[in-house]
Amino acid sequence: MSQAAKQRIDALCQQLTEHNHQYYVLDNPSIPDAEYDRLMRELQQLEREHPALLRADSPSQRVGGEPLAQFNSVAHLKPMLSLDNAMNEAEFSAFHQRLVERLGSAEIQYCSEPKLDGIAVSLLYRDGVLERAATRGDGMTGEEITQNVKTIGSVPLRLQGDDFPTLLEVRGEAFMPKAGFDEMNRKAHAAGEKTFVNPRNAAAGSLRQLDSRITATRPLAFYAYAMGVVEGQRQPLDNGHYQQLQQLKSWGLPVSPLVELALGEQGGLAYFRRVNEERASLPYEIDGVVIKVNQLEQQQQLGFVARAPRWAIACKFPAEEELTTLNDVEFQVGRTGAVTPVARLEPVFVGGVTVSNATLHNGDEIARLGVQIGDTVIIRRAGDVIPQIVSVVQDRRPEDARVIEIPTECPVCQSKVERFEGEAVARCSGGLFCEAQRKEAIKHFASRKALDVDGLGDKLVELLVDKELVKTPADLFGLSASALTMLPRMGMKSAEKLIKSLDAARATTLPRFLYSLGIREVGEATAANLARHFKTLPALAAAEVDDLIAVDEVGEIVAKHVYYFFRQPHNQEVIAALTAGESATVYWPEIAEIAEDQQPLKGQTWVLTGTMSQMGRADAKAALEALGAKVSGSVSKNTSTLVAGEKAGSKLTKATDLGVAVLDEQGLLDLLAQHQ
Ligand code: IVH
């Protein structure tokens, strides 16, 4: 009986280990999760029935075990070193120069690796079985975290193959991928629990759990970056670091796919630059690259200084998080009256730029962060993402810190600030009486996707409103060149040019006009849907909420915003001024309905790509659809015509390959004109 159980346990261990490797290391799941769970339950059941048969490398050990009272300390067999840093390219070049001199050779081969932002871990395999895992600690002694490390899916509990050394220490980084981190924090936040500041802290915190069952629920991963102590080799170790990493890979250890050989200073620099560019799109955080001399003989020749090797350097990217002080909070009023708190910060260099402002979004965000004026805060700027305050360093709060209060009156027009139930945002109730909202409304009205008034930038709009030359969008069309010349830095020539652009902007389309009104929640696409549905402005303005809900992608909230917009006397006045009478200020072609059986492009599928300079994508799509075409996102052999704007890329290549007809933007405009 026990013999049969042992055989079954061995077989299950082998199968589950293989599936685990496929899933976590090769990223290539081989069986459905449900099947994996079934096999795991069978194994756990057998192990419960036959406790003597429980193996140290059993995949069941990955779920965590009884909590520990404390961590044991572990003396590292070989110290775990740290790395010297290069803070910029020049410091890497200086590092390379030093090595050239010491080695007397200019052609140094490097192994280049991402510098993973997690925590260093040492794994000890005896006879291929993971015996012990430890943190780096102070480099000489760390903490034993074997139970916790066993829960990391990509760490093999048993090595693959049969040519691994009898004693093998693997060093690497345990980390938390960004997606897992976000998901974990989202859940913690929803449950009202504490969230982690960043993936690195989350990884460290998860591995420092005395209860490994908690660690097992955390989405941790591991990449090996070096061998430590090695004894009892069954095959000679390779004499290159890169090649040794490949050996580790062959024994089932995960190694970052970004590890590469690079030649000399230029090779190292090129790697640094390239990985820096890829940084934001990687699924985990890195804070630089590590460049290591590849030949082990050269490594030995170079040796160590203090606690770091001479043969490796960490080239750091600009930090994405820094500390700074919140000096003040100001409140900005947006187009829809939203009163947004903006943090004024002590300027700080983060993510490659100097940051002195950051949005605090709304009152809920201020409450979530628990931030006060005077606090030391952590600022984060990653990739092109706008800077964020991620947390407050509570124990650095000064005695005179001040609570941030959302104003009860608009800082611009002194109207009451209201906050509606279920909305996080506070709003100024002043509407277009509020100068701030007026400015934003006019900026929006003139913006590129709206009436597209060439040369009317944000600064100029602010000036026009400040000087009381313009109060509403309609006033723009009453401006004269001579009135404009009264503005600073506005000569007759520029003034006339602006009047011309304003005149040109009068010819528009109904979707653009609707978008330009700045109705809440009505973006380009909704404006196009509304125009297509109602055909005329009076029909839309008269629509009831239920009529509006009938429009594609318009829900109750949007419908109510549209309904109320057209019932505000002030808005009615502005619209009347913009469209009234014979000499209508702004005009657009009527949307004629073509009977379905007469639609010239009926049954055709069109695709739009590239940049259109005269007509937006949404307009082009709407116009094609009005002629009966279906507009799709991808080119196939069923595509009738591809409209290729400027800088068209792969879709154009594909269309040409498939022999699909191609039109440029002018060609499309000509075609549309024919069917007007
Ligand atoms: S090698 C003797 N390679 O950076 C060289 N370290 O201060 C020892 N790290 O705590 C380290 N990615 O955990 C090496 N590809 C990589 C690394 C890496 C991240 C961490 C390591 C250590 C710190 C170095």
Q: Specify the DSSP element, H or E, that contains 499.
A: helix 492-505
Tokens representing residue 173 in the block: 């980084």
Tokens representing residue 456 in the block: 């009317």
CA distance 411 to 532: 40
Backbone angles phi, psi at 633, to 5 degrees: -90, -15
Buried b / exposed e along 57-92 (16+ C-beta atoms within 10 A): bbbbbbebbeeeeebeebebeeebbebeebeeeeeb
Catalytic machinery residues: 115
Q: Which residue has the CA at smallest separation from atom 3 of ligand 1?
A: 225
For residue 335, the SS3 value is coil
What integer is the mean pLDDT of 114-133?
96
CA distance 151 to 31: 20
Q: Which residues are within 8 A (CB) of 483 and not within 5 positions of it... i.e. 6 or more apart?
A: 469
Q: For 54, left (φ over 0), alpha (ψ -120 to 50), or beta?
A: beta
Ligand 1 nearest atom to the CA of residue 172, by list position:
13
- CA of 348 relative to ligand 1 center, distance in Å: 27
Other beta carbons less than 10 A from residue 232's beta carbon: 11
Res 582 pLDDT > 70 = no
For residue 328, the SS3 value is strand
Ligand 1 nearest atom to the CA of residue 136, by list position:
10
Across 100-109, 260-269, 595-604, least confident range: 595-604
Q: Which residue has the CA at smallest separation from atom 1 of ligand 1?
A: 225
- CA of 2 relative to ligand 1 center, distance in Å: 46
Ligand 1 nearest atom to the CA of residue 173, by list position:
13
For residues 527 and 514, the answer to whether their CB atoms sit within 8 Å is yes
Q: Which residue has the CA at smallest separation from atom 10 of ligand 1?
A: 120
Compare 235 and 300 and report the one with higher pLDDT.
300
For residues 207 and 145, the answer to whether their CB atoms sit within 8 Å is yes
Share above pLDDT 70 across residues of the chain, in percent, rounded to a whole number:
99
Mutate to test the pocket of ligand 1, among 84, 110, 116, 282 (most ligand atoms within 8 A of CB): 116
Q: If you average pLDDT over every residue of the chain, what do you get?
A: 92
Task: Give 592's DSSP letter.
Answer: P
Identify the pLDDT of residue 494.
94
Share above pLDDT 90 across residues of the chain, in percent, rounded to a whole number:
73
For residues 251 and 172, the answer to whether their CB atoms sit within 8 Å is no
Mutate to test the pocket of ligand 1, among 83, 244, 271 (most ligand atoms within 8 A of CB): 83
Q: Which residue has the CA at smallest separation from atom 12 of ligand 1?
A: 115
- CA of 83 relative to ligand 1 center, distance in Å: 7
Q: Which residue has the CA at smallest separation from atom 2 of ligand 1?
A: 81
Mutate to test the pocket of ligand 1, among 80, 115, 275 (most ligand atoms within 8 A of CB): 115
Instruction: Report residues whose beta carbon is within 6 angstroms of any ligand 1 atom.
Output: 81-83, 113, 115-116, 120, 136, 173, 225-226, 290, 309, 312, 314
Ligand 1 nearest atom to the CA of residue 82, by list position:
7
Residue 674 — very low, low, confident or very high, per pLDDT cuts 50/70/90?
A: confident
pLDDT digits (tens, 9 = 90+) for 283-296: 999 999 999 999 99
Identify the pLDDT of residue 24.
85
Residues in the chain: 676
Ligand 1 nearest atom to the CA of residue 256, by list position:
15
For residues 284 and 116, the answer to whether their CB atoms sit within 8 Å is yes
Specify the residue for token string 């670091």.
241
Identify the pLDDT of residue 581.
60
Res 21 pLDDT > 80 = yes
CA distance 343 to 399: 19
Task: Give 20's DSSP letter.
Answer: H
What integer is the mean pLDDT of 59-67?
85
Res 6 pLDDT > 80 = yes
Between the CA of residue 304 and those of 189, 230, 314, what are the distances in Å?
A: 45, 20, 15
Q: Which residue has the CA at smallest separation from atom 23 of ligand 1?
A: 82
CA distance 508 to 499: 16
- CA of 18 relative to ligand 1 center, distance in Å: 28
- CA of 257 relative to ligand 1 center, distance in Å: 16
Sheet holding 129-135, edge to edge: 129-135, 119-126, 167-175, 221-231
- CA of 52 relative to ligand 1 center, distance in Å: 39
Question: Residues 3-12: contacts with CB within 8 Å, 24+ apart?
Answer: 5/46, 5/49, 5/50, 5/53, 6/50, 6/53, 8/42, 8/46, 9/43, 9/46, 9/47, 9/50, 9/53, 9/55, 9/58, 12/39, 12/42, 12/43, 12/46
Between the CA of residue 344 and those of 373, 390, 408, 459, what are the distances in Å?
A: 9, 15, 20, 21
Residue 432 — very low, low, confident or very high, per pLDDT cuts 50/70/90?
A: confident
Specify the residue for token string 């590469």.
260
What integer is the mean pLDDT of 661-666?
92
Q: Which residue has the CA at smallest separation from atom 21 of ligand 1?
A: 120
**pTM across the whole model:** 0.66
Q: Which residues are within 8 A (CB) of 620 and not within 5 positions of it... i.e. 6 or more apart?
A: 608, 612, 643, 668
Specify the residue for token string 């690259």.
289
For residues 86 and 315, the answer to whether their CB atoms sit within 8 Å is yes
- CA of 77 relative to ligand 1 center, distance in Å: 17
Ligand 1 nearest atom to the CA of residue 309, by list position:
2
- CA of 96 relative to ligand 1 center, distance in Å: 18
CA distance 676 to 656: 29
